[in-house]
Amino acid sequence: MLTIMSRLPLHTLPVFRTAARLQNLRATAVEMHLTHSAVSQQIGVLEQQLGFVLFERRGRRIVLNEAGQALLCSVESALAQLDVGVLAAAATATGVAQRLRLTVMPSFLQRWLLPRMQRWRQRHPDIALELHSSQQVMDLQRDGFHAALRQGRGGWSGLSDERLFDSPLVVVASPATARRLQGGGAAALVHEPLLGDADLWDLWFSEAGLTVRTNPVASFNDAGLMLQAAEQGLGIALGREFMVADALRDGLLVQLSEQRLAPDADYSSYFLVYPPSLCDWAPLQALRSWLHDEVCALQASAAAAAEETPARKPRRKKAP
């Protein structure tokens, strides 16, 4: 085994990892910017050096066998550790701030993360965050990200995840809309312009004791845009409680009802996600600690506000 390890062709391991994920040599060649024959040759060299095959050929697909699956676990961990080492070495050699690449959903970035970035910089001026906004679930290792903020159930394959918070849906509108509807209850919303998903609105009305088939005036692929539309008085929105917390505090939105709609299980929670090999990397540890502190501060603020104003009502304009 020692002889095998000392002569293991390390340059073939990234190709092996990519081929294991894509299960296709041609697709691997495209992603790695190699020729098809070069990919096939590198995998052949690796198998020859090890003395056993790693893939089963099934037509145009290649699938890891048990030996390949065992090797992949170690290869992914080892390559991730090398990435961490390179990051640390580069920071030491250049003396520049360390950089953490984070991919995050646009609505989360706009409504929650950006308003708190000044506190991050004050706490960690030596760690630069490189933020990538996308609706797509990115492959962290393939696309070069250290961590992600994701919405879902958790349990992403090959990644560690830490739950940040759960967030029910609440009904919000602009202050002008709220003043006009004050005291009307759920029935007053039936004929109002609604924003967002019709099924969620139907469920919200059902839990309020009303049978309604809603037809929202606009739907959005991004919750941040929907909340902007609500702030501008274009309609009433069902928004995640944590995403509207700042707007409620600043008076940009008003919560119209204490009734909350529990989100479905697939989208109920928000997580910090990262490769297990980066768990002890100092910049990631700093991000984890800061995020949890920010969540605790938000929850404490919301609890205090609820005690002061049990029923959120729009402020009345003072008489001139």
Q: What residues does each domain of the chain span? A: 2-86, 97-167+267-304, 169-262
Q: In what order do the strands lie in the sheet with 236-240?
A: 194-195, 236-240, 169-173, 254-255
Output the DSSP codes for 165-206. EE--EEEEE-HHHHHHHTT-TGGGGTTS-EES-HHHHHHHHH
The residues facing 160 across adjacent strands are 274
Mean pLDDT calculated for residue range 92-116? 82
Q: What CA–CA distance (Å, rounded) separates 170 from 260?
A: 5
**Mean pLDDT of all residues belonging to the chain:** 85
- CATH class held by domain 2-86: mainly alpha
Q: Has residue 271 got a pLDDT over 50?
A: yes
pLDDT bin (cut points 50, 70, 90) of residue 180 is very high
Report the Cα 156 to chain-centroid distance in Å.
12
Choice between 175 and 166, residue whose per-residue pLDDT is larger: 175
Q: What CA–CA distance (Å, rounded) separates 263 from 239?
A: 10
Q: What CA–CA distance (Å, rounded) separates 129 from 31?
A: 26
> Is domain 97-167+267-304 classified as CATH 3.40.50.720?
no
The residues facing 30 across adjacent strands are none
Which of 111, 99, 93, 95 has the alpha carbon at shortest distance from 172? 111
Residue type, 248: L
Mean pLDDT calculated for residue range 94-107? 79
Q: Has residue 109 got a pLDDT over 50?
A: yes
Measured on CA atoms in the order 121, 123, 127, 131, is the torsion positive or negative? negative
Q: What CA–CA distance (Å, rounded) separates 212 from 200?
A: 11
Contact 88, 33 (CB under 8 A): no
pLDDT at 161: 92
Which of 117, 99, 3 has the alpha carbon at shortest distance from 51? 3
User: What pTM does this model have?
Assistant: 0.67
pLDDT at 316: 41
- CATH class held by domain 169-262: alpha beta
Q: What CA–CA distance (Å, rounded) separates 90 from 301?
A: 40
Q: What CA–CA distance (Å, rounded) separates 232 from 240?
A: 18
The residues facing 274 across adjacent strands are 160
| 2-86 and 97-167+267-304 agree in CATH topology | no
User: Out of 46-55, 81-90, 212-221, 304-313, which region has the weakest mean confidence (pLDDT)?
Assistant: 304-313
Q: Has residue 130 got a pLDDT over 50?
A: yes
Residue matched to tokens 């029935």: 187
